[in-house]
Amino acid sequence: MDQVILVLGWLGIYAPVALGTIGSSIGCTLAGQAAAGALLDVESGYGKYIGMAAMPSTQAILGIVIMFSLNREVTVTNGAALAAIGLLSGVAMLVNGIYQGRCLVSAIEASKNKTEIFGMSLAPAAIVEGFAVFAFVFALVLSSSLPG
């Protein structure tokens, strides 16, 4: 049983990076595809669509910071906590990246058709990003109380 806890602890350390990167990749892909389509439909302002497509990359960055905060010797005492914090924050980053990408698809579609709402169209994606930040902060706070 101790070996299982140790393996889960190591998975918990790496999970925020792996899952956050997967979420960022999917979110950036969704938004990037919409941005590429928008480039065909607009005469100028291409950069803002490319910038929007990069927004979901934050989840990978947050996952890296969580991984560094969890990185310590894995023991039977802290293995389960490392697994819980790492895996759950990683899942949060994964889902967040995907849904932020979906919000950005809508924002790109709306703003290409009505350019004056560009700023407002980003609000839903920013709100979704805020939830990733909540998970990030909670993971950092919890990791600081772990032994090791």
Which residue blocks in 1-78 are alpha helix, DSSP H?
2-41, 46-54, 58-70
8 A C-beta contact, residue 103 and residue 28 = no
Domain count, the chain: 1
Q: For 95-116, how does the pLDDT look when each residue is reduced to its tens digit (9 = 90+)?
A: 999 999 999 999 999 988 888 8
pTM for the structure as a whole: 0.92
8 A C-beta contact, residue 144 and residue 70 = no
**Residue 27, pLDDT score:** 98
Range of the structural domain that residue 96 is part of: 2-143
**Residue 142, pLDDT score:** 96
Does residue 16 form part of some domain? Answer: yes
Q: How many whole angstroms separate alpha carbon 56 and alpha carbon 45? A: 20
Q: For 30-46, how does the pLDDT look when each residue is reduced to its tens digit (9 = 90+)?
A: 999 999 998 887 777 77
| Range 67-87 average pLDDT | 97
What is the residue-averaged pLDDT of the chain?
A: 94
Does residue 100 form part of some domain? Answer: yes
For residue 76, give the CATH number of its domain: 1.20.120.610
Does residue 148 form part of some domain? Answer: no
CA distances from 2 to 7, 31, 56, 78, 126 (A): 9, 43, 37, 11, 42
Identity of residue 141: V
8 A C-beta contact, residue 132 and residue 27 = no
